[in-house]
Structure 1
């Protein structure tokens, strides 16, 4: 169990003279199975689009990613302000898919390969 699968998210920290300063965050080394159940419920809400309007759905994604996946490595405000708007919802959804299905992005795989 020494080589547990992890995921990554990259957030913009600031923009200096047209240059973007980012920081990459890795998920904790261990994520309990109970988090999968929460991710599945959230995925079902997204796919069915039940009861929630789009803004409420995005708020749930932000809360889940910041508090349940990355466990306080960044705040919800840092997450909201650190994602590029056109890609933000997709990025959040990919984080949920990692938890629910173990899907890693190619960028994450490359980052982890360099890190090891």
Structure 2
């Protein structure tokens, strides 16, 4: 089997319970084993659009990133609602931007590298 780079997103399985004080249960969602090069091209285009477009509101930019991550990078394994309801807010935007960078440049997060090293 080919050794293709993958990335993960950590989402809270039990957000309602966690908001009431219970321990958060974390689900690791992995990118598909194969991501077409077209997705990298589109990620670069989206990244540039987000950085340059001063007329677009931050919430619109956030929606575009969440849509892209859910539908293009994770190929529908998660939804935009999963991202908005199950991704921990502090640093959440950075996590999504890291997903764009992973696809565009192949850079895995340190957490992903550590996790994969433990699995080997």
With the length of structure 1 as denominator, give the TM-score of the two structures: 0.92
- Cα offset, 1:107, TM superposition: 0.3
Residue 82 of structure 1 is matched in structure 2 by 86
Any unmatched runs of 5+ in structure 2?
none
Any unmatched runs of 5+ in structure 1?
none
Once residues 54 and 44 of structure 2 are traced to their aligned partners in structure 1, the CA distance between those partners, rounded to angstroms, is: 14
Partner SS for 1:63: helix
1:53-98, Cα deviation, whole Å (9 max, x unpaired): 1000000010000000111111211111111212111010000000
Question: What is the aligned-residue RMSD (CA, Å)?
Answer: 1.5
Residue 7 of structure 1 is matched in structure 2 by 7
Q: Aligned runs of 1:32-43 on 2, under 5 Å?
A: 32-43=36-47
Greater per-residue strand proportion: 1
Q: Which moved more, 1:49-58 or 1:13-22?
A: 13-22
**Structure 1 stretches of 4+ moved >2 Å:** none
Number of residue-to-residue matches in the alignment: 116
1:112 to 112, 116, 119: 116
Once residues 51 and 109 of structure 2 are traced to their aligned partners in structure 1, the CA distance between those partners, rounded to angstroms, is: 20
With the length of structure 2 as denominator, give the TM-score of the two structures: 0.89
